[in-house]
Amino acid sequence: MGDPSLLFWLGAFVVIAFVDLVTIMNLWRSEKSFNTRLMWALIILLLPVIGLIIWGFIGPRGMPKPPTSPEQSK
């Protein structure tokens, strides 16, 4: 089948890459400045595990406010 340690590290890589991508997508939807979002995206990409931990503790908070059009409130 395959070396169990290789399969473990491959699975760990896939999970970390997926979490990084979701984090960066949420980061770009935030209302922070472009430079702040770019800085955090670079940190997360260059240091995938450590960057996620740092972002989790001191990263930008909040999501954009939902649209408030009368059509959507029906």
Cα 55 to its chain centre, rounded Å, is 9
Q: Which domain holds residue 47?
A: 4-58
pLDDT in tens, 6-20: 999 999 999 999 999
- pLDDT digit string (tens) for 27-57? 888 888 899 999 999 999 999 999 888 888 8
Number of domains, the chain: 1
Does residue 28 form part of some domain?
A: yes
Domain annotation covers residue 71: no
Using CA atoms, how far apart are residues 69 and 49, in angstroms rounded to an integer? 39
- Are the C-beta atoms of 52 and 20 separated by less than 8 Å? yes
How many angstroms separate the first and last alpha carbons of the chain?
A: 55
Which residues, in sequence order, are CB contacts of 45 under 8 Å at separation 6+? 20, 24, 51
What pLDDT sits at residue 8?
A: 92
